[in-house]
Structure 1
């Protein structure tokens, strides 16, 4: 098996660059679009990985009726050790699926290029151990994960939004930020920015870091694909110290 199930929750947020990176690394992608009426599978039989993308919706009520099914798949993936990658809204659904809390952020919108800080637990994480201490990311959310689920391992944080990346179980990763976007996707989102944001400035700022985002997160995606394909073992030991 070489196929990953990709759940597209919103037509404005497809897999884009992340999809290209995963296919280049050997994964086939089966995209399900519940926003367009596609039914979700009842389980993950026949899939080697699960990817849940973002969207404009909220993880808390009122919310689309298919989110219950997405949460069920996220729980099954975590329980059964199916490699999982959940992005932005997907990360929030990962949190709510396991008993965490998502709310409208009191800190206001987080939009545009940003840095997040890798946490100590990343040193022994199969994927995050190779991520730089302060990687470039793209942010675009107004909700936040205010409480992580019990047992979640925090992997990245920032000052305003402390829960930027976490892992559930051994093989399920959640990213509050975006790594899949290209500049045309950002330009599309910028047409509906909150009041006070300049669309041209936001698009230009995001475009300026696209290469830096790819430099970090394309190898991350390749490692995720390798794990899903059985080419990369889980790692739970620190990297050796290099230099003097």
Structure 2
């Protein structure tokens, strides 16, 4: 059987906008492609798929041959979708082409917001301030039976750390989960595209480090969450990628 290829697109941050030394004690440092590779290995899926990582925010080119990719995970970002950096426009254009293939995509945090924007939704700053911490979501009826939430229940927490939110979902998109300040915490966009505002791929130490330069006091809001990474596994397995 031919192994499927999973692409992870990192859009970590605008180069020069943060100190790389802050990340040196964290596995993989600021290179999230290394972190996601380790996550796939942890899930026991590494020997069942081929993995590629691209640091799009650093100018690494996205694959021109879409036939060579079977599924995509689009990571989060310190940048807002409204920043309109060159690399964000490159990702947006690439996503429009990827949408036409009908193949699966999972967006996380900033990826969730970019996907929603590409599809015609609207993103805004959260009026109450950033959503931070290890927090549970409220699943909608559609979310209760969705494959993305297999193995999770109504008390399952996830890592949040975001200043922006999707306030208007794209046409044809189904809301899977909400929070009081987040009317679209998890979405199914149809066409094998799903996205979440939270970070199932992260660990509490990585989330805490995210705030080290921005607002160190927020780092204490994170606690260890065993098993939240299973959601990434649900995406991979649920789309036949491994």
- Shorter-chain TM-score category? 0.7 to 0.9
Q: CA deviation at 1:165?
A: 0.5
Matched residue, 1:6 = 8
Total equivalences in the alignment: 220
Offset, 1:125: 2.6
Partner of 1:188: 209
Give the corresponding residue for 2:54: 32
- Aligned match of 1:96: 117
Q: How does 1:44-55 map to 2 (within 5 A)?
A: 44-55=66-77
Change (3 A) 1:230 1:36: closer
CA contact (8 A) 2:6 2:241 kept: no
**Residue 240 (structure 1) aligns with:** none
Deviation at 1:59, TM superposition (A): 0.7
Runs of 5+ consecutive residues of structure 2 not aligned to the other structure: 14-29
Distance 1:33 1:17 in 2: 12
Which structure 1 segments of 5+ residues have no match? 232-244
Structure 1 residues 125-181: Cα deviation after superposition (integer angstroms, max 9, x where no partner): 332354312421111111111111111110010111111000111411111011122
Given that residues 128 and 155 in structure 1 are in contact (C-alpha distance below 8 angstroms), is that contact kept between their aligned partners in structure 2?
no
Maintained 8 Å contact 1:43/1:73: no
> Structure 1 CA distance, aligned partners of 2:212 and 2:32?
17
CA gap of 1:180–1:218, structure 2 versus 1, over 3 A, is closer
- CA 1:133–1:187: 2 relative to 1, 3 Å: closer
Tell whether 2:79 aligns with 1:57: yes
1:42 Cα deviation after fit: 3.4
Contact 1:116 1:158 in 2 (8 A): yes
Structure with more strand by fraction: 2
Decide whether aligned partners of structure 1 residues 139 and 91 sit closer, same or farther in structure 2, where only a CA change above 3 A counts: same
TM-score (norm 2): 0.81
Q: 1:229 to 1:21 in 2, by over 3 A?
A: farther
> What is the rounded CA distance, in whole Å, between the counterparts of 2:56 and 2:241 in structure 1?
29
- For residues 13-53 of structure 1, the C-alpha deviation after alignment (integer angstroms, 9 at most, x for no partner) is 71566543434223332111122221122352211111100
Contact 2:4 2:241 in 1 (8 A): no
Secondary structure at the aligned position of 1:107 is classed as coil
SS of aligned partner of 1:149: coil
SS at match of 2:68: coil
Q: 1:210 matched to which residue of 2?
A: 225
Contact 1:53 1:87 in 2 (8 A): yes
For residues 66-112 of structure 1, give each alpha carbon's deviation from its aligned partner in whole angstroms, at most 9, with x where no partner exists.
Answer: 22232233334444331211100000001100011111221211111
